Amino acid sequence: MTTTEPKVSDPYPTRVGDQPRLIPRVDPTVWGQRPGPIEAATLRSYESKGYLTVGGLLTPTEVRFYRQELEKLATDPALKADERTIVEKESAQVRSVFEVHQISEPIRELITQPRVLDRARQILGSDVYVHQSRVNYMPGFTGKGFYWHSDFETWHAEDGMPAMRAVSMSIALTDNYPFNGGLMVMPASHRTFVSCVGETPDDHYRASLKEQEIGTPDQASLTQLAADHGIDQFTGSAGSALMFDCNIMHGSANNITPYPRSNIFVVFNSMENTLRAPYSARKPRPPYIASPTFTPLQNPGL
C-alpha cells in the first residue's frame, strides 16, 4: 500500500505531482483567544507576519548556564554516538542533538516554564506537546546554511501532521548578527502553502537533516513569495527568542565569520493536531525527530 496518492480531504497536497503549486492556507495562525504572556499587538503582528521575537527571554546568567549545558551535551562521548546526535560530515563536529528535552533536565524544565510554554499555548489555543526538540550548533568559519523551506511541508508529508497548528521557538544562546548565518524569513509567507514536486524516498530523513532535497520549494515560487513579502532577518542578543509559524518560508546562509551560533529549538504542536499516517511518505520518521507520543506539557509544579 502506498500513501502517496492525493487525498481529496487534504488541503495541503505535496510531493504528489510534477508541478509546484501555491495553495492558500485554510487554517488560522492564532487559534482562539486564549490568554497568555504575548501582548495583543505582538499577537496581531504574529498573525499577519507569521513570526514574533522576544527580547531577553533568558537572562545573561541563564544564557551562560545553557551554553555550558550545550557544551556538556556536545562533548559527551556516549551522546555523540547516539543516533539522535547529528555530526557534520567534514568536520566531525556535533551540529544538532535531537529530542534534547528528554536528554537534558534543565532544557526540559525551561520548555515548561510559563514564558515559553504559555506563549505556545496562547498561539495554538490549546494544550500542546513537543513534536520535536533539539539544540543546534553552527560553527564559525565553516557553518553551513539551510536552503529555503517550510517546516510544515515536511511535517505534513513525512510525519502526518494534519493542520498548520504548530509553532517553533528558537532561543538564541549566541548573538545573531545579519552576517553570521542567522535565520531569514519571508514575512507573511505562512499564508501560502508551497506544494513541492517529487516523491519522498524511504529513509529520507537521513539525508534531509543535513541537506534538504525532496520537499524543496521551486525557484519560481520563492521568487514570487520574496517579491510579495520581502525577507526579514532574525538578529538580536543571546537570550532573545524567535517564535515562528510552522509554514513560514525560512532559510539561512552559510557562516564564514568567526562568530559561531547556537540555539535551543522546540516545536510545539497542538493536542488537537496530533499526528496521523504520513501524507506523502511510506513510513513515519523516527520518534526522536517526530514524536509519536502526545503528552501535554504542564507548567512546573503543577
Site for a copy of itself, rule CB under 8 A: 140-141, 145, 147-148, 177-179, 181, 184, 219, 222-223, 226-227, 231, 233, 251-259
Q: CB of 65: closest distance to a copy of itself in angstroms?
A: 24
Residue placing its CB nearer to a copy of itself in the complex, 3 or 237: 237
**How far is the CA of 115 from the CAs of 10, 36, 90, 162, in angstroms?**
34, 9, 38, 27
Q: How far is CA 12 from the centre of its chain?
A: 18
The dihedral over CA atoms of 9, 15, 21, 27, expressed in degrees to the nearest 10, equals 40
DSSP, res 191: G
Residues 51, 141: Cα–Cα separation, whole Å: 28
Residue placing its CB nearer to a copy of itself in the complex, 151 or 159: 151
**How far is the CA of 196 from the CAs of 134, 140, 151, 200, 277, in angstroms?**
26, 32, 12, 11, 19
Q: CB of 188: closest distance to a copy of itself in angstroms?
A: 16
Residue placing its CB nearer to a copy of itself in the complex, 248 or 297: 248
Residue placing its CB nearer to a copy of itself in the complex, 62 or 175: 175
Residue placing its CB nearer to a copy of itself in the complex, 148 or 279: 148
Q: CB of 239: closest distance to a copy of itself in angstroms?
A: 20
Residue placing its CB nearer to a copy of itself in the complex, 200 or 255: 255
Q: CB of 148: closest distance to a copy of itself in angstroms?
A: 6
Q: CB of 143: closest distance to a copy of itself in angstroms?
A: 10
**How far is the CA of 28 from the CAs of 24, 50, 118, 267, in angstroms?**
11, 11, 18, 18
**How far is the CA of 31 from the CAs of 9, 123, 195, 248, in angstroms?**
21, 6, 23, 16
Residue placing its CB nearer to a copy of itself in the complex, 8 or 227: 227
Instruction: Please classify residue 138 by burial: count the beta carbons closer than 10 Å to its beta carbon, then call 0-12 exposed, 13-18 middle and 19+ buried.
Output: buried
Residue placing its CB nearer to a copy of itself in the complex, 4 or 142: 142
Coil, helix or strand for 159? helix
Q: CB of 96: closest distance to a copy of itself in angstroms?
A: 19
Instruction: Please classify residue 211 by burial: count the beta carbons closer than 10 Å to its beta carbon, then call 0-12 exposed, 13-18 middle and 19+ buried.
Output: exposed
Q: CB of 232: closest distance to a copy of itself in angstroms?
A: 9
Q: CB of 102: closest distance to a copy of itself in angstroms?
A: 32
Q: What region, left, alpha or beta, does residue 213 occupy, with left being phi > 0 and alpha being psi -120 to 50 degrees?
A: alpha
Residues 163, 160: Cα–Cα separation, whole Å: 9
